[in-house]
Amino acid sequence: MTTEIFKAKPKINLKHGVVEMNHGAGGRATHQLVEQLFMPAFDNPWLAQAQDQASFQVEPSRLVMTTDSHVISPLFFPGGDIGSLAVYGTINDIAMAGAKPLYLSASFILEEGFALRELQKIVLSMAKAAREAHVAVITGDTKVVEKGKGDGVFITTTGIGAVPQHVNITHKLSPEDKIILSGFIGDHGIAVMSQRQNLQFNTDLISDSAPLHELTKTMFEAVPHLNCLRDPTRGGLAGTLNEWANHYDVGFFIDENAIPVRDAVRGACELLGLDPLYVANEGKLVTVCSASDAEKVLIAMKAHPLGKQAAVIGEVIADSNCFVQMKTIFGGTRIVDWLTGDQLPRIC
């Protein structure tokens, strides 16, 4: 037995190799996957600690923690992939607390047989998204399940952020407060649907998947007090408004004419029998603020590239039924209920 045999660190075959059960077994194969695929991609001093946890120093502060599993299908779609989506999704949930995203963890559930080439593409996309947003993926985990017990790759990202002193989300809604939406709705959901097998249709639409923390920073610099703030992902704008109406015990009255919807999304929704109000977004936010602050918030949002199409879309009303009502394009009024059923499975 020579030193070389034992010290040699065989390369994993990123070009033609696939995920094998032993990549999840905690032995040499797991170690190789981590050292040769994950570590070089995420490259940062916390990950280099090479422990089962990462440590970092914090000043006294209000922190937020958020987690999301990503099971989107297909894994790659116009405007993004599960990797960048997993980073932006968690950044956005942090940003919606008015917080600055700091650290992410990433946990992978891989299906046996998944191409390592694809996995690397996803991991590099995650790393790029994190780097560009100035957050670090500081710790992670990899598990492998048998073929037919997963679906390529699921990614769970958890994030930590710090809320600046001046930020205040009041969580109080009153009649006449204004609802402001940051831009076109439905782009993400429709872009993903356009790629589904046995559903592919032609569209130039790309997902709006993007990190919103710089937009929210701008908003809180303009107006430190917002009443509530959310990114309308699964369940769409209608889902967020209904959840708020129930939680804060108010009603909403929105104006369909004021809600930005691209023609391509409107067209695809008609084709598919969907309503853009229920379609997922991954780079949009909706906020409620006092009527007196609305102009300031709107100006701040429009000055940011991700808020150019921001618009006041309605207001809070007193309503013990907690209904979301909408003045339609045709001038009538209808109730926008919760999504029942699942229009768009596995959209994030």
Question: Of residues 94-123, which lie at the interface with its own copies (CB under 8 A)?
Answer: 94, 96-97, 99, 103, 105-109
Question: CB-wise, 235 or 307, nearer to its own copies?
Answer: 235
Q: Which residues ranging from 235 to 264 are in contact with its own copies (CB under 8 A)?
A: 235-236, 239, 242-243, 246-247
Considering only residues 231, 256, 293, 315, which one is a binding residue for its own copies as defined by CB under 8 A?
231
Shortest CB 56 distance to its own copies, Å: 6
123-149 b/e (C-beta count within 10 Å ≥ 16 → b): bbbbbebbbebebbbbbbebebbeeee
Is residue 230 a contact point for its own copies (CB under 8 A)? Answer: yes
For residue 77, the one-letter residue type is F
Contact between 324 and its own copies per CB under 8 A: no
Report long-range pairs for 320-323 (Cβ below 8 Å, ≥24 apart).
320/249, 321/251, 322/242, 322/245, 322/246, 322/249, 322/250, 322/251, 323/245, 323/251, 323/252
Query: Of 214, 208, 227, 215, which Cα lies nearest the Cα of 287?
Result: 227
Q: Write out 136-156 in H/E/C secondary structure.
A: EEEEEEEEEECCCCCCCEEEE
**Cβ at position 179, least distance to its own copies in Å:** 17
151 binds its own copies (CB under 8 A): yes
What part of residues 1-60 is at the interface with its own copies (CB under 8 A)? Answer: 3, 6-7, 20-22, 24-31, 50-60
Alpha-carbon gap, residue 286 to 290, rounded angstroms:
14
Minimum CB–partner distance for residue 299 and its own copies (Å) = 26
Query: For residue 94, which of 161, 156, 168 has the smallest C-alpha distance?
Result: 161
Question: Judged by CB, which is closer to its own copies: 239, or 307?
Answer: 239
Nearer to its own copies, 60 or 305 (CB): 60
Q: Could you say which residues in the range 168-227 bind its own copies, by CB under 8 A? A: none
Measured CA to CA, the distance from residue 225 to residue 173 in angstroms comes to 12
Contact 153, 38 (CB under 8 A): no
Strands 251-255 and 168-169: unpaired
* Of 134, 122, 296, residue with least CA distance to 211: 134
Q: Which is nearer to its own copies, 101 or 307 (CB)?
A: 101
Closest distance of CB 80 from its own copies, Å:
17
Decide if residue 149 touches its own copies (CB under 8 A): yes
- Candidates 280, 288, 301, 313: give the one binding its own copies (CB under 8 A): 280
> Counting contacts by CB under 8 A, is residue 338 touching its own copies?
yes
Alpha carbon distance 124, 133 (integer Å): 14
**204 or 342, CB closer to its own copies?**
342
**What residue has token string 């997902």?**
207
Using CB under 8 A as the binding rule, whether residue 276 contacts its own copies is answered as no
- Does 67 interact with its own copies (rule: CB under 8 A)? yes
61 binds its own copies (CB under 8 A): yes
